[in-house]
Structure 1
Amino acid sequence: MTTTANLIRIAAGEVGYTEYPPGSNGNKYGQWYGMNYVPWCAIFISYCFDKISLPLPIRSSKGFAYCPDGVSWFRNRGQWFNDPKVGDVVFFCWRGDGIADHVGIVESIKPDGSIISIEGNTGIGNDANGGQVMRRSRTPGIILGFGRPPYTHSVPSQTQASRPATPTPKPTPPQREIAKVPPNYHQDLVDRLLGNKSDKSHKHKS
Structure 2
Amino acid sequence: MTTAANLIRIAAGEVGYAEYPAGSNGNKYGQWYGMNYVPWCAIFVSYCFDKIGLPLPIRSAKGFAYCPDGVSWFRNRGQWFYDARVGDVVFFCWRGDGIADHVGIVESVKSDGSIISIEGNTGVGNDANGGEVMRRSRTPGIILGFGRPPYTNPVASQTQASRPTTPTPTPPQREVVKVPPNYHKDLVDRLIGGKSDKAQKK
TM normalised by structure 2 equals: 0.90
Alignment of 1:44-63 (within 5 A): 44-63=44-63
Deviation string, structure 1 residues 27-70 (Cα, Å, up to 9, x no partner): 00000000000000000000000000000000000000000000
1:63-102 to structure 2, matched below 5 A, reads: 63-102=63-102
Contact 2:93 2:100 in 1 (8 A): yes
- List gaps (5 residues or longer) in structure 2: 160-170
CA distance in 2, matches of 1:123, 1:50: 24
What aligned pairs does 1:166-181 form with structure 2 within 5 A after superposition?
A: 173-174=172-173, 176-181=174-179
**How far apart in 1 are the matches of 2:28 and 2:179?**
26
Residue pairs, 1:182-197, within 5 angstroms = 182-197=180-195
- Once residues 40 and 178 of structure 2 are traced to their aligned partners in structure 1, the CA distance between those partners, rounded to angstroms, is 19
The SS at the match of 2:31 is: helix
Where in structure 1 are there 5+ consecutive unaligned residues?
Answer: 160-171
Q: Which aligned segments of 4 or more residues in structure 1 are displaced greater than 4 angstroms?
A: none
For the aligned residue pairs, the C-alpha RMSD in angstroms reads 1.4
Q: Does 2:107 align with 1:107?
A: yes
Letter in 1 for 2:125: G
Partner of 1:154, secondary structure, is coil
Deviation at 1:173, TM superposition (A): 4.4
The alignment status of 1:4 with 2:4, answered yes or no, reads yes
Q: Which residue of 2 aligns with 1:13?
A: 13
Q: Percent identity?
A: 86
